[in-house]
Amino acid sequence: MSEAGEGRIAENGAAEIEAQAAAWLQRRRYWNWSDDDQVALEAWLDQSLAHSVAYWRLDAGLGRAERLAALRNPEQEAVEIPASEKKPLRRFIPVLLRIAATLAIAAVLGVGAASFVLRSHDRVYSTPVGGHETVSFADGSKIELNTDTVVHTRMTSEQRVVWLDRGEAYFQVKHDPVHPFIVIAGERRVTDLGTAFVMRRDSGRLKVAVMQGRVWFDASNKKKPQQSALLMPGDVVTATADSISVTKDSARALANGLTWRQGVLVFKYTRLADATAEFNRYNRQKLVVTDPAIAQMTIYGAFPTNNVELFSRVVRDVLGLNVRDNGNQIVISR
């Protein structure tokens, strides 16, 4: 570029700035990085917005590449690495697998048998249908249990492990690189890297959504090789028995998914089928929609999780449907 009118980058072409940004980024990511290096990088970034933009862009590109790479089947990798050269993170996973296997056996035997296997510093926390509990730990971490949820924990000086046995929980973790905070749900593991995230486990499906920081997600079973991914804020993983997908949610969508923490369910043009299923997680008296056509109607609004009556009234008055309470169930029909 030669024209004076575009002075911001005239004396230093974009390709050159990009090369400098890439040089900084690789130095920070793959080599020893001192406080002085950080000061020098920040000075370079402050020199011009062009520097910052180039750096943000490459940093995001590298992050994207790493997350995608982590999701790839290991068999596709071009270079074979001896196990001894891999990073410690990968090495400790088999140990966890063994722990998980032990507990998986316990889980099959039922909660009563499971508690038999548990060690003395293990604790079980649970909520009934419609319940909501917050558990605080000595390290400052917190777990908020939603309705009908069971977790058990092992918090020792060596390890911090939580098993999400059933339901949904919101985790706010005080990060400690020496003692990673690990949440295990069946064959899936989430390792905190400084984080707030929510996990929901029901009928063979696991959903993990990250609000802050980063988490490491691992999945493995006998049929498939291990799959891992580094998750960033906004990332949502949905894992079923035979598929794993990663999607991106907006901050607003994630916030809507967490309103249970305030005891509220938010529906925005949600199908009646999904809204009633969500409500039924919180209440013993179940809502039933008999007509598939009605199930496709959508509802908009915020409802207290325990107020089935309010929900029923809105369904009746706004959607003009027939709502009948027969004691055991509330039946919605035309």
Partner 1 sequence: MSETPEMEFEGVRRRGEAMSPSEVAAWFVREVLPLEGILMQYLHHNWRNQSDITDLRQEVYVRICESARQRFPDHTKRFVLTTARNLIINRMRHEHVVPIEAVADVDALGLAIDAPGPDQVAMARDELRRLQGALDCLSPRCREVVVLAHIEGLAGHEIAARMNISQATVSEHLANGIRGLTNMLFGDGRKP
252 touching partner 1, by CB under 8 A = yes
Q: Report the C-alpha gap between 88 and 86 in whole angstroms.
A: 7
Residue from the set 37, 44, 53, 139 that interacts with partner 1 by CB under 8 A: 53
3-class state of residue 259 by DSSP: helix
6 touching partner 1, by CB under 8 A = yes
302 touching partner 1, by CB under 8 A = no
- Nearest approach in angstroms of CB 234 to partner 1 is 7
Angle, helices 35-47/49-71, rounded to nearest 10 degrees? 120
| Piece of 94-102, 123-131, 142-150, 239-247 that binds partner 1 (CB under 8 A) | 239-247
Residue from the set 39, 40, 43, 60 that interacts with partner 1 by CB under 8 A: 60
- Nearest approach in angstroms of CB 215 to partner 1 is 14
Phi–psi pair at 123, nearest 5 degrees: -130, 150
246 touching partner 1, by CB under 8 A = yes
Please name the residue that has the structure tokens 């291990």: 226
61 touching partner 1, by CB under 8 A = yes
- For residue 41, give both structure tokens: 């990088």
Residue from the set 85, 157, 242, 293 that interacts with partner 1 by CB under 8 A: 85
328 touching partner 1, by CB under 8 A = no
Q: Which is nearer to partner 1, 50 or 319 (CB)?
A: 50
Q: In sequence order, what DSSP letters do the residues of 130-187 get, joined into one string? A: T--EEEE-TTS-EEEE-SS-EEEEEE-SS-EEEEEEEEEEEEEE---TTS-EEEEETT
Strand-pair partners of 124: 152
Amino acid (one-letter) located at 41: L
83 touching partner 1, by CB under 8 A = no
Strands 181-185 and 160-173: parallel
Cβ pair 163, 118 in contact under 8 A? no
- For residue 305, give both structure tokens: 């999780």
66 touching partner 1, by CB under 8 A = yes
| Piece of 1-9, 107-115, 131-139, 272-280 that binds partner 1 (CB under 8 A) | 1-9
Strand-pair partners of 327: none
Q: Which residues bind partner 1 (CB under 8 A)?
A: 1, 3, 5-6, 8-9, 13-15, 17-19, 22-23, 25-27, 29-31, 48-50, 52-54, 56-62, 64-66, 68-72, 76-79, 81, 85-87, 89-90, 211-212, 233-234, 245-248, 250-252, 255
